[in-house]
Structures are given as structure tokens and as C-alpha cells.
Structure 1
Amino acid sequence: MPGRPVPSRRTVLRTAALTPVAALGAAACSPGDDGAAPARPTAPVELGAEGEVAKGATKLYPDGNVVVSRAEDGTLKAFSTVCTHAGCPIKKLEGTKLVCPCHGSEFDARTGEVLHAPATAPLIELPVRVEQGRIVASPGA
């Protein structure tokens, strides 16, 4: 949208780093509340068992504001599900498409790329790894 600044990666991550993991569900905004941007923890977040994301699949972890996909070669990718348009948490995954409830932006959950405006910036990619059979995402830098 012309004239509207797009939040920088640093701004999104700084905002996301304000709330501990236990409070994520309560802190996340949804249509009709105060519109505050959701927060993510400052420390790495354990999302679930490695087997939860099969090859070629994508899984949304709404309490962590993270989506994880696994390529056919087994590599994992993770993205913040905080919309880059207005900071709303995305809680809807349709196949491999994330749909923001606030203004209808759509993103490819495998690449983070914008599929439908008003968002113009891709989702923030997060470092992701497997530790002791568990998927762990980091808030990034």
C-alpha cells in the first residue's frame, strides 16, 4: 500500500521477542482485539516431534507463530507467521498457503513469499533444527 511503511525484519523480530513461550497463546491478537502485534520468545522454541512434518508437508505451529515445511530431500524451513503487512498472527494454513485474518494477505508457507497483497514483504525466515528428535526454531537475529 503506497505510503505505508513495511516493518523491517529487525522490527518484526524485536516485537516478536517480547513474550515468553507460555504466554504466546494469550498474547496473540485476532480479529476484534486490540490489534497488538503478537510476540515470540527470545530463546529457541521447541515446536514438536520431528515426525510431525513429513517430506513435502507443511505444519503450522500457531502457539509459536511459526510454520515449518520439509522439502522432499528432508531439509526443514521455518518462517514467522507474523504478517509483514500489519503484524497480525496468521493462524490459518490452507495446504501450503497461509492466510492472514486481518487484511487477507496470503503467503507461501514453503518459501515465505507473498502470494496476495496487501503484504509486500515476505515472511521472516527463522533458523530451524532438530535436537533430540524435536523441531526447534530460533527467533533469528
Structure 2
Amino acid sequence: MSELVTTTDRVPVGGGTVLVERGVVVTQPVEGTFVAFSAICPHRGCTVRAVAAGTINCFCHGSRFRIADGAVVGGPAEEPLRRLPVAVAGDEIRVGEEHDPG
């Protein structure tokens, strides 16, 4: 089931928002396209803390991930951030686990 995590006006174009309390990062790489990732860095399990200059940044060891796809831009992380399903309805952004309805 998806959960309301934020609204579109809180996610800047070309940037993103880290929702620490929800364990989620929501980005808007280009206007109108929203992407969500787990806020847990795959390197050592720290929570990423910021989105700046086109990357999602983990301050624990310096890993950086692209806002568009979560791919590693700078290590030590070797795996991308885990992408999460996102749905936008009006100004609401919902994030949740995928499930098979069948």
C-alpha cells in the first residue's frame, strides 16, 4: 500500500527532498517527473542526508547517487539506492511497496 509522503511543491526541479522520518528520498530530475528511493545508503546503512547539485548525498562516508536513477556517482558505495514505486495524484506524492494484485 502506498503512503502519502510529501507534496509536489516540496520537491524542487533538479533536486529532491530527504524524508528521514519516512526513510525515503523523493526527487524531481526534470519538471513533472518524480522518483523515489530508499534513504538508506547501500554502503553501510546510513541514512542519506541531502540532495544537492544533482546528487543524493550520504555524509557517513561520502557516497553520492544520481537523482534520476539512484546510480552511484561517487563511492565508496558500489550499489545504487533502492528505487521505490511512486504515484502522483494532484499535488500528492505517494510512495509504497509494489505488490502483485493477481
State if a TM-score over 0.5 links the two structures.
yes
Map of 1:100 onto structure 2: 58
Map of 1:21 onto structure 2: none
Instruction: For 1:72 and 1:54, locate their aligned partners in 2 and report how far apart those are by CA, in whole Å.
Output: 9
1:99 partner letter: N
Structure 1 residue aligned with 2:28, among 70, 75, 79? 70
Instruction: For 2:62 and 2:29, locate their aligned partners in 1 and report how far apart those are by CA, in whole Å.
Output: 26
Contact 2:36–2:95 at 8 Å: present in 1 too?
Answer: yes
* Cα drift, residue 73 of structure 1: 5.2
Give 5+ residue unaligned stretches, structure 2. none
* Cα drift, residue 77 of structure 1: 1.0
Cα pair distance change 1:72/1:91, threshold 3 Å: closer
* Cα drift, residue 113 of structure 1: 0.8
Between Structure 1 and Structure 2, the one with more helix by share is 1
Instruction: For 2:75 and 2:15, locate their aligned partners in 1 and report how far apart those are by CA, in whole Å.
Output: 24
For CA contacts below 8 A with separation 6 or more, give which structure has more relative contact order.
2
Note the alpha carbon deviations across 1:89-129, whole angstroms, 9 max, x for none: 11122232222222221112222011111110101110001
Give 5+ residue unaligned stretches, structure 1. 1-42
Task: Give the SS at the match of 2:87.
Answer: strand
Cα pair distance change 1:95/1:59, threshold 3 Å: farther
Map of 1:61 onto structure 2: 19
Map of 2:86 onto structure 1: 128
Cα pair distance change 1:140/1:119, threshold 3 Å: farther
Sequence identity, in percent? 31
Contact 1:97–1:107 at 8 Å: present in 2 too?
Answer: yes
Q: What is the aligned length? A: 99
TM-score (norm 1): 0.59
Cα pair distance change 1:139/1:49, threshold 3 Å: same
TM-score (norm 2): 0.78
